[in-house]
């Protein structure tokens, strides 16, 4: 209750969740790792309570050196005005912060792994404290009535009310705790609220709740908005522990409807029958219309009890008679016993102004696909400021920005410096990578003279829309690593640049051209069997039109289109295979060098273009040569990562990737890992090890798997993938990588095997 009361004393108090931790081990509850990641908080703070309050909760815990008399100790404690310092809480806070991407203060260009967070502690707000550097305290109009809980309430119903509407910071009169008849509205908060929840500045209690907002939302006109879609639209958490309550609170903030019920409430038949069941039945029927789900879970109670609860709150089967035939309603499947899926997040608490405003910003595009804004971002200003302008403390609000057509991963503690263009020694604003793009504090970090207008105190950052490669570079830099193209990466980038896009390169490999392209790969030795449509000069093959056509799935028209595209991209050359009158060696002579007389590429003798030079046929037939870098890429099986990337893309809605990259130590330049494919698949980071064999090289399994895992940890990957052109991958390799992925901290990674590529 104290935690919710302190949160309620700040603007956006409904934007807090609670994360419990073990005070003896300083370990936060592991259940909250995925919750915090989905919730994507701007700040992770330690709750600070006064020493006197802490002593009241835990008598004898506050010891004073040199004082043995308990009466003297209590007298000294009563005169203390500072807050407690809990070292275990600080450690736990650091762990929770590592799960997400909090706002960090970076005043110089230098990015490091130890970037300082802007806010790490939170105490009860004091609007008169001009020197407190933290969140903005709430400044209510004192005459306005609203819905709020009383901090003195201790019942289960009173705590559920605090979760739902917030806690009043002052009480002009005593209010009795709400009774169980308030449960119907607290479970399904629609319509008029119970009058027991009405807070009014007047001593005479207001008896009507119609039209009143909650304490959380009233001051700034905050509203809940949804982004995307989740199937789980309601969550019931059963249990009487602090962790159960915190879970219900978190689910309520993320999916929009979380309910905390204790066994004491659920084991009272009258309470369930008259208040809980009717509200639940109504809520479940609403969810059924959207094919959504209500989940029932707990951190303390066994599945058997939860199944009983799910049965109790499930609307009953009923019978009806039509034409003398009795029918039974179908068993409903809306209620499921499991924790809700919160991976994508859903709800956000925002100011009800400028929501969804779209603006256009001129940009310049770099070769790697990144885009830099050519002008500073003009952010919206709320009409109702949290601080008066004459205090010099404005602005205080955050702005969330989403870039359209941006498929790179979100959040993951990417450095704010990677998201902006830095022309000077200091950044224009403080910002962080968020689940929707980036969030920024508009307060200018540059020179702001005393008495400056509000417009002069607001920063206008020039943002950067990152390509996948630039995103990887930003993540790696914070870990002290650099990123560069591997040998295969440089080759594929050259081919990509000539084709015009990475997408065209993936399509080229995925649409059946691979067999014809691989026919250009250099042979290990001279082939014994002669193919008239494939001429091997030295060890390099050159194909005729028919040789290419025979290896493609389409007809001659499709073959012609492919040849024309590759020739236009300067990846394929058309020419003749001719010998030399003087040296007698056959050579490929491309069309640019052909004339009535041509120069032998090997001995520079000038030859007449006559039938003796091509020997076979009345007229010569065209042969084709593939670009040497493209040949080398295929020879090194560089097409296999492209096939894996294409397979991932086909199974996704939003996809982008980077060419093969090598990670190296920034200080020494020593390479530490190489990854075939780093992709963003529906915002999930996926790392792929792609091979033309069915296993890691002999004796290299542990080494290569560890390197893959190192890169995955740096990038906070969601999944590891082993991909091969073979029908299977060696089971011992699969088991090894799967175990590594499952043991990854703080989040286990998924694992998948892609076989029969191409």
User: In 194-241, which residue ranges form alpha helices assigned H by DSSP?
Assistant: 215-218
The rounded distance, in Å, linking the Cα atoms of 419 and 432 is 8
In a domain, 471, yes or no: no
pLDDT band at 347 (very low <50, low <70, confident <90, very high): confident
* Contact partners, residue 366, CB within 8 Å, separation at least 6: 372, 467
What is the predicted pLDDT for the residue at 108? 46
What is the predicted pLDDT for the residue at 379? 87
Tell me how far CA of residue 570 lies from CA of 429, 541, 551, 558, in angstroms: 46, 18, 21, 18
CA-wise closest residue to 572 among 643, 491, 534, 629: 629
In a domain, 507, yes or no: yes
Mean pLDDT across 459-482: 93
The rounded distance, in Å, linking the Cα atoms of 357 and 377 is 13
Higher pLDDT, 636 or 407: 636
DSSP structure class, residue 196? G
Beta bridge partners of 751: 720
Is the domain of 517 the same as that of 528?
Answer: yes
CA-wise closest residue to 9 among 124, 132, 178, 180: 124
The rounded distance, in Å, linking the Cα atoms of 677 and 684 is 13
Mean pLDDT across 256-265: 95
pTM given for the model:
0.88
Q: Are strands 46-47 and 121-122 parallel, antiparallel or unpaired?
A: parallel
The rounded distance, in Å, linking the Cα atoms of 641 and 649 is 12
pLDDT band at 331 (very low <50, low <70, confident <90, very high): low
Q: Of 53-57, 147-151, 236-240, 601-605, which range is least confident?
A: 53-57
Is the domain of 282 the same as that of 378?
Answer: no
Is the domain of 616 the same as that of 521?
Answer: yes
Torsion of Cα atoms, 304 then 305 then 310 then 315, to 10°: 110
In a domain, 719, yes or no: yes
Cβ atoms of 203 and 43 within 8 Å: the answer is no
The rounded distance, in Å, linking the Cα atoms of 340 and 631 is 51
Top mean pLDDT of 59-68, 320-329, 340-349, 492-501 is at 492-501
On the 0-12 / 13-18 / 19+ scale of CB atoms within 10 A, 70 is: exposed
Cβ atoms of 55 and 79 within 8 Å: the answer is no
Beta bridge partners of 69: none
What is the predicted pLDDT for the residue at 318? 62
Single residue among 162, 194, 218 that ends a domain in this structure = 218
Checking if the pLDDT of 472 tops 70, the result is: yes
Is the domain of 320 the same as that of 444?
Answer: no
Show the tokens assigned to 718: 């969601």
Q: Of 24-33, 46-55, 324-333, 369-378, which range is least confident?
A: 324-333
Give the CATH number of the domain where residue 710 resides: 3.40.1350
Average pLDDT of the chain to the nearest whole number: 89
639-690, pLDDT tens digit by residue? Answer: 999 999 999 999 999 999 999 999 999 999 999 999 999 999 998 999 999 9
562-574, pLDDT tens digit by residue? Answer: 999 999 999 999 9
Task: Tell me the torsion sign for CA atoms 625, 631, 635, 640.
Answer: negative
310-330, pLDDT tens digit by residue? Answer: 998 888 766 556 666 655 555
In a domain, 168, yes or no: yes
Mean pLDDT across 518-540: 89
Q: Long-range contacts: 91-97, Cβ < 8 Å, 24+?
A: 91/26, 92/19, 92/21, 92/22, 92/26, 92/27, 92/28, 93/44, 93/45, 93/46, 93/120, 95/26, 95/27, 95/28, 95/746, 96/19, 96/28, 96/32, 96/36, 96/44, 97/44
The rounded distance, in Å, linking the Cα atoms of 208 and 197 is 10
On the 0-12 / 13-18 / 19+ scale of CB atoms within 10 A, 525 is: exposed
Mean pLDDT across 199-218: 82
| φ, ψ of residue 327 in degrees (nearest 5) | -115, 150
In a domain, 473, yes or no: no
What is the predicted pLDDT for the residue at 266? 95
* Residue 320 zone, left/alpha/beta (φ > 0; ψ -120 to 50; rest): beta
CA-wise closest residue to 193 among 165, 216, 158: 165
What is the predicted pLDDT for the residue at 107? 60
Q: Of 203-207, 478-482, 554-558, 586-590, which range is least confident?
A: 203-207
Single residue among 600, 633, 666 that ends a domain in this structure = 633
Single residue among 599, 633, 667 that ends a domain in this structure = 633
Is the domain of 656 the same as that of 731?
Answer: yes
Q: Are strands 597-599 and 534-537 parallel, antiparallel or unpaired?
A: unpaired
In a domain, 61, yes or no: no
The rounded distance, in Å, linking the Cα atoms of 513 and 522 is 17
The Cβ-side half-sphere exposure at 560, using a 13 Å CA radius, reads 3
Cβ atoms of 720 and 751 within 8 Å: the answer is yes
Is the domain of 666 the same as that of 575?
Answer: no
Is the domain of 313 the same as that of 332?
Answer: yes
* Percentage, residues of the chain above pLDDT 90: 58
What is the predicted pLDDT for the residue at 329? 52
In a domain, 64, yes or no: no
What is the predicted pLDDT for the residue at 415? 87
The rounded distance, in Å, linking the Cα atoms of 15 and 400 is 14
Q: Which helix (H) or strand (E) holds 590?
A: strand 587-590
On the 0-12 / 13-18 / 19+ scale of CB atoms within 10 A, 529 is: exposed
Show the tokens assigned to 707: 């390197």
Domain range spanning residue 627?
Answer: 502-633
Is the domain of 9 the same as that of 131?
Answer: yes
Checking if the pLDDT of 632 tops 50, the result is: yes
The rounded distance, in Å, linking the Cα atoms of 342 and 39 is 8
Beta bridge partners of 440: 399, 431
Q: Of 205-214, 429-438, 695-704, which range is least confident?
A: 205-214
pLDDT band at 237 (very low <50, low <70, confident <90, very high): very high
Is the domain of 525 the same as that of 440?
Answer: no
Mean pLDDT across 329-358: 82
CA-wise closest residue to 132 among 21, 9, 285, 278: 9
- What size, in residues, is the chain? 758
Q: Of 145-149, 398-402, 442-446, 648-652, which range is least confident?
A: 442-446
Checking if the pLDDT of 186 tops 90, the result is: yes
Higher pLDDT, 323 or 117: 117
The rounded distance, in Å, linking the Cα atoms of 15 and 615 is 82
Cβ atoms of 167 and 4 within 8 Å: the answer is yes
Tell me how far CA of residue 293 lies from CA of 153, 239, 256, 286, 340, in angstroms: 32, 20, 13, 10, 9
Is the domain of 305 the same as that of 398?
Answer: no
pLDDT band at 548 (very low <50, low <70, confident <90, very high): very high
What is the predicted pLDDT for the residue at 57? 86
* Contact partners, residue 260, CB within 8 Å, separation at least 6: 156, 159, 160, 163, 237, 244, 245, 248, 249
- When divided into structural domains, the chain yields a total of 6
Q: Are strands 319-322 and 371-373 parallel, antiparallel or unpaired?
A: unpaired
The rounded distance, in Å, linking the Cα atoms of 262 and 240 is 5
pLDDT band at 124 (very low <50, low <70, confident <90, very high): confident
Cβ atoms of 261 and 186 within 8 Å: the answer is no
406-427, pLDDT tens digit by residue? Answer: 889 988 889 888 898 876 666 7
Is the domain of 5 the same as that of 127?
Answer: yes
The rounded distance, in Å, linking the Cα atoms of 735 and 751 is 10
What is the predicted pLDDT for the residue at 230? 83
In a domain, 325, yes or no: yes
What is the predicted pLDDT for the residue at 295? 96
What is the predicted pLDDT for the residue at 390? 73
Beta bridge partners of 657: 679
The rounded distance, in Å, linking the Cα atoms of 690 and 754 is 9
Cβ atoms of 545 and 622 within 8 Å: the answer is yes
The rounded distance, in Å, linking the Cα atoms of 169 and 152 is 11
On the 0-12 / 13-18 / 19+ scale of CB atoms within 10 A, 345 is: buried
Show the tokens assigned to 445: 């970090």
Full DSSP string of 482-531: EEEE-HHHHHHHHHHHHHS-HHHHHHHHHTT-HHHHHTTSPPSS--SS-B
Show the tokens assigned to 63: 């010891």
Residue 1, number of CB atoms within 10 A of its CB: 17
The rounded distance, in Å, linking the Cα atoms of 185 and 157 is 11
Is the domain of 417 the same as that of 548?
Answer: no
């Amino acid at each position: 209750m104290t935690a919710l009361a302190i949160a309620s004393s700040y603007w956006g108090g409904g934007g807090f969740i609670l994360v419990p931790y073990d005070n003896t081990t300083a370990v936060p509850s592991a259940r909250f790792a995925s919750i915090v990641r989905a919730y994507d908080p701007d700040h992770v703070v330690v709750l600070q309570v006064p020493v006197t309050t802490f002593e009241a909760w835990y008598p004898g815990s506050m010891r004073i050196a040199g004082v043995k008399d308990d009466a003297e100790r209590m007298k000294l404690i009563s005169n203390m005005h500072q807050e407690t310092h809990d070292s275990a809480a600080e450690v736990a806070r650091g762990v929770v912060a590592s799960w997400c991407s909090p706002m960090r203060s970076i005043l110089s260009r230098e990015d490091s792994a130890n970037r300082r967070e802007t806010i790490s502690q939170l105490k009860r707000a004091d609007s008169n404290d001009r020197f407190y550097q933290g969140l903005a305290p709430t400044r209510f109009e004192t005459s306005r009535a609203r819905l709020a809980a009383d901090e003195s309430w201790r019942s289960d119903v009173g705590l559920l009310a605090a979760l739902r509407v917030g806690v009043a910071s002052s009480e002009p009169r005593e209010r009795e705790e709400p009774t169980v008849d308030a449960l119907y509205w607290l479970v399904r908060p629609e319509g008029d609220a119970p009058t027991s929840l009405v807070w009014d500045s007047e001593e005479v209690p207001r008896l009507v709740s119609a039209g009143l907002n909650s304490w959380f939302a009233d001051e700034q006109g905050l509203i809940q908005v949804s982004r995307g879609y989740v199937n789980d639209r309601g969550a019931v958490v059963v249990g009487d522990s602090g962790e159960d309550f915190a879970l219900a609170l978190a689910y309520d903030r993320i999916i929009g409807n979380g309910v905390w019920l204790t066994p004491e409430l659920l084991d009272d038949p009258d309470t369930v029958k008259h208040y809980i069941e009717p509200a639940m039945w109504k809520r479940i029927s609403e969810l059924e219309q959207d094919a959504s789900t209500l989940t029932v879970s707990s951190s303390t109670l066994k599945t058997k009890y939860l199944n009983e609860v799910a049965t109790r709150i499930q609307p009953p089967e009923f019978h009806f008679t039509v034409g003398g035939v009795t029918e039974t309603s179908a068993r409903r499947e809306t209620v499921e016993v499991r924790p809700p899926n919160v991976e994508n997040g859903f709800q956000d608490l925002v100011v009800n102004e400028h929501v969804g405003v779209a603006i256009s910003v001129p940009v310049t595009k770099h070769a790697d696909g990144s885009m830099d804004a050519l002008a500073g971002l003009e952010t919206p200003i709320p009409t109702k400021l949290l601080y008066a302008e004459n205090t010099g403390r404005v602005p205080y609000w955050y702005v969330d920005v989403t870039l359209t057509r941006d498929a790179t991963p979100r959040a993951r503690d990417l450095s704010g410096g990677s998201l902006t263009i830095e022309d000077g020694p200091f950044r224009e604003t403080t910002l962080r990578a968020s689940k929707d793009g980036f969030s920024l504090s508009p307060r200018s970090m540059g020179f702001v003279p005393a008495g400056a207008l509000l417009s002069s105190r607001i920063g206008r950052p020039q943002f950067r829309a990152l390509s996948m490669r630039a995103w990887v570079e930003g993540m790696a830099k914070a870990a002290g690593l650099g990123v560069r193209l591997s040998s295969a990466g440089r080759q594929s980038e050259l081919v990509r640049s000539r084709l015009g896009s990475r997408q065209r390169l993936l399509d080229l490999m995925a649409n059946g051209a691979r067999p014809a392209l691989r026919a250009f790969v250099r042979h290990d030795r001279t082939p014994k069997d002669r193919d008239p449509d494939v001429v091997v000069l030295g060890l390099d093959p050159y194909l005729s039109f028919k040789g290419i056509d025979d290896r493609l799935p389409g007809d001659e028209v499709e073959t012609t289109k492919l040849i024309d595209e590759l020739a236009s991209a300067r990846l394929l050359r058309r020419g003749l295979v001719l010998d030399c009158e003087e040296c007698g060696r056959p050579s490929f002579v491309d069309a640019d060098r052909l004339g009535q007389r041509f120069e032998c590429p090997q001995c520079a003798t000038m030859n007449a273009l006559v039938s003796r030079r091509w020997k076979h046929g009345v007229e010569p037939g065209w042969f084709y040569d593939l670009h040497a870098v493209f040949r080398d890429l295929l020879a090194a099986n560089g097409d296999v990562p492209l096939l894996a990337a294409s397979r991932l893309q086909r199974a996704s809605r939003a996809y982008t990737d980077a060419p093969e990259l090598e990670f190296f130590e920034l200080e020494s330049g020593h390479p530490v890992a190489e990854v075939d494919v780093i992709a963003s698949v529906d915002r999930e980071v996926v790392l792929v090890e792609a091979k033309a064999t069915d296993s890691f090289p002999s004796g290299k399994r542990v080494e290569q798997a560890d390197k893959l895992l190192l890169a995955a940890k740096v990038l906070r990957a969601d999944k590891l993938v082993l991909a091969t052109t073979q029908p299977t991958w060696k089971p011992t390799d699969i088991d090894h990588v799967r175990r590594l992925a499952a043991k990854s901290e703080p989040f286990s990674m998924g694992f998948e095997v892609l076989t029969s590529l191409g």
